[in-house]
Amino acid sequence: MKRVKSCFLLLLCMLAFEGCKEDRYVYPNVLTEFINIRTDQSGTLKELITDQGEVLSVQHREGLSGLTPDSIYRTVSVYERLEVSEEDDAYLYSSQLILASLPLSADQFETVKTDPLNIQSIWKSGEYINLILLPMVKDKPHAFHFIDQGITEANGKRTLNLTLYHDRNNDIEAFTRKVYLSIPLWGYKEVLEKGDQVVVQINTYEEGMTTRSFTY
């Protein structure tokens, strides 16, 4: 099974599912989270997997099929936990696929691009670092990825150095659009230990080239 399905060129705001058809519909008590979704052998979405490892079975409805069989996708999803259902744990209202590619070394890129944007928030959750970013856009697709700049060691601790790849494709800086990304850390289990550091470098409008640090 592929761990996470992702794409190199991310078209901003790529919607996967729509659960609500009426504009005035009021959601019940729902959660909006970065979360993994898992499909069965027919390509139908069956489970949500939280960053804490909790597996929630999804109540069946139309619009959950047509995905790659036996796969895991990284998403930002809106769902409700079902307290009274005997068979299912959650009802999924909507799900947006997001980029969650393993970082690549710099020599894998023809040119390393770090076009500026702003950071709304960035945090570590389970085996991911999640990012909500604010690039300036108009009508061209922006490309995102993560660059592995190698591991350094000091005082018995290792630091994984990552850089955000952002190519705005010469887009006009007309307005801000929100972008969701996740950096998978599970690929570093063999080289990092608990207590090591992960440093993410991002080029921003407000701070220039800035970093955020997280404990592995």
Comparing C-alpha atoms, which of 28, 128, 116 is closest to residue 76? 128
**Is CATH 2.60.40.2370 the classification given to domain 104-215?**
yes
Q: Using CA atoms, how far apart are residues 176 and 164, in angstroms rounded to an integer?
A: 18
List helix spans (H) across the chain.
Answer: none
Q: Using CA atoms, how far apart are residues 40 and 45, in angstroms rounded to an integer?
A: 7
pLDDT exceeds 60 at position 11: no
Domain span(s) for CATH 2.40.50.500 in the chain = 2-97
**Length of the chain measured in residues:** 216
Summarised one tens digit per residue, pLDDT across range 95-122 is 999 999 999 999 999 999 999 999 999 9
Summarised one tens digit per residue, pLDDT across range 121-134 is 999 999 999 999 99
Domain span(s) for CATH 2.60.40.2370 in the chain = 104-215
Q: How many CA atoms within 13 Å lie on the side-chain side of 75?
A: 26
pLDDT exceeds 60 at position 73: yes
Task: State the CATH class of domain 2-97.
Answer: mainly beta
Summarised one tens digit per residue, pLDDT across range 20-62 is 445 566 557 899 999 999 999 999 999 999 999 999 999 999 9
- Asked if 76 contacts 34 with a C-beta cutoff of 8 angstroms, the reply is yes
pTM of the model: 0.84
Structure tokens that stand for 169 in this block = 């494709």
